[in-house]
Structure 1
Amino acid sequence: MTRGIGETEFVSRLPEAVTAVAGLVTQLGDMWFVLLGVCAVFVLGARYRSLTDSPASDCVYLLALTLGAYSLTAVLKHFFALPRPPGAATATPPAWIPELGRAAYESMVTGDGYGFPSGHALKTTVVYGGAALVLDVWDRNRRLAVAGVLTALVAASRVVLGVHYVVDVAVGVTVGVLFLVAAVRLTDRRPTRALALSTALGGVAFATAGTLKSGLALSAAAVGLVVWAGTDGFRGFRIDSTRS
């Protein structure tokens, strides 16, 4: 029994150029890009105080949210164990893609493992939504609007690529919103609490899924918690002590 609503047939008729663009857009939700963005918060925040008053605190907080979102996704995917759309793990690069770029193209437009819910949609919702809440640039409504647009683009790209059904990304966004709201209330935007939450989720994810990636997420959260708490929030940086 499929959970699709006809999107697989629709996207199969889209031009190759649309798929290529979707492959680029979906990078906004890839772990490498998200982690790079989190690091950019620290680097740019330390240089431009209009971005954030607490660059290290906000960076660590967003990192904790990222790890927590990944671990939550791993738990849910393992629990539901629902497959991706047919052909999600394979792709034929267009003729205009150079030989050297074919492997990169395939990695950008394919997906493997379980498909429900969408990890990209969930993680993007949590990280970009979290950034909208903690950063100081613009006003909050505008930040939330930008986060919403980015999340929608990433979610749509996953369907266009044929690696998720619409319900996968819809549930991913919904769970992401619920997780973000719960995390903000439970942690009060304090990195130590956020890292503790992510460590707990990482432990559950590793105990259930038992994958290398879930183990790395658990290790990163646990090490981050020990380092952050042990250094009182990276002493030496101008960090608001009420958020450590």
Structure 2
Amino acid sequence: MTIFVRPVDPAYPTGVSGVYDYASLGQAMQDWFARTDIAAYVDYFIQKAEQKIYRDIFSMNRGSGVRAIESPLTGTIGTDGTLALPAGYLGLKYTLCSASGQMFELQRRNAEFIYTQYPTRSADSVPAYIARDGAAFTFGPFPDAQYSISGIYWRRFPQLTQTNNVNWMTAYIPTILLAACNAAVARFLSDDERRQVWDAEYLSEMQDFLDTDRAEEQSGSAFAMVAG
């Protein structure tokens, strides 16, 4: 197998096979299949893999995201009673509303609940509920002031590309990313035997990752990466 040698950088190993960024991921795909002719399709494989990973995180994790894709949610409710969705929004972990010097947790509901239970869509009271409605959050009751909102949401980060050469997947789940990419390569090559192998590898590693993340979340301690 070809050994990918990256430029000297104290943050990464040198002269070691592995997935650390866009270039090493592309090289790894070629190495595992011993095919240099798939290099032109690397972006396609990465796009397929990233979409699958985001989708499976939520479907395999009881509708929740993971710590690696958490991002702070901050904003102020507008005069129209809404707050625009943040960049790359995938889902809410929790939301707080600041009112009268106190912080209140908003309960998540769907937009239908908001509009049927709180049909008055003008200044009413401190909101107790939040829902997504298209590209914005809406609240019930309709806010009677421009309250500050904070919390945590799960987000989709920019895709790994030649110009955006690292992201959270290369940092936290490089082997899962490689397995998902290699499954996409096998499908592209109509190699059913290898596709089954990489699909199984991907599912096994993804489940281990989600179980570990869930255990850490429930422990209440700070998240930390540990060298394997």
Q: TM-score range by the shorter chain?
A: under 0.3
Higher strand share: 2
Higher helix share: 1
Q: TM-score normalised to the size of structure 1? A: 0.26
**Which has the higher Rg, Structure 1 or Structure 2?**
2
Give the structure, 1 or 2, with the largest relative contact order (CA under 8 Å, sep 6 or more).
Answer: 1
Q: TM-score normalised to the size of structure 2? A: 0.27
